[in-house]
Structure 1
């Protein structure tokens, strides 16, 4: 995994885990890979992965079965979407609006590009 300097590593790992849930690679009540397994596969310190798991547990995306590991929460998809939407609206959307304003891109043009993107990426 390539990490960016613009965001804490544990949050980037959280984004990765959330993406796995949204892509249905991990289903509700299914065990996620262990902290050690994730640390090895992502080439990070296990403490960083543990911080990610604690963060996602606090956000009720995953839950811990003591001695067994972490599992995907029943309503994880809903929680992930809310979490990602909130972060998008707070952090990315203002910059996006600024860019389309400065570049004088109207919403109709933007809509056509968005529809093209959906067709080519999510068939």
Structure 2
């Protein structure tokens, strides 16, 4: 995973975990990778992944089942969508609109490119 400088690594890992849940790779109720396994896969310190998991637990997106490990909560998808939607609408969308305006990109062009993106990146999604 390639990390960016603008956001804490543990939050970037949280976004990754949330994406895996949203994409159905880590279904609700099923075990997700352990702290050590995810740290090794992402080549980060296990303490960073632990901080990520603690953050996601505080958001009630994942739960730690004693003796079993971490798993996605049954309502994880809804919680993730609500959390990320609010963050996007409040923080990222205004900057995005500014860029559209400054570059004179129309909503029609944006719609076309969005549809192309979805078709290429998520071909099996209805």
What is the TM-score of this pair, normalised by structure 2? 0.90
| Cα distance in 2 between the residues matched to 1:16 and 1:117 | 19
Moved over 6 A (4+): none
1:94 is aligned to: 94
| Cα distance in 2 between the residues matched to 1:116 and 1:13 | 27
Give 3-state SS (helix, strand or coil) of 1:63's partner. strand
2:12 is aligned to: 12
Give 3-state SS (helix, strand or coil) of 2:77's partner. helix
| Cα distance in 1 between the residues matched to 2:111 and 2:52 | 35
Shift of 1:26: 0.8
1:21 is aligned to: 21
| Cα distance in 2 between the residues matched to 1:88 and 1:100 | 16
Gaps of 5+ in 1: none
2:41 is aligned to: 41
| Cα distance in 2 between the residues matched to 1:68 and 1:121 | 33
1:55-101: per-residue Cα shift (whole Å, max 9, x none)? 11111110111233111100111111112112211221111100001
**Aligned CA-pair RMSD:** 1.2
Aligned positions, number:
123
1:70 is aligned to: 70
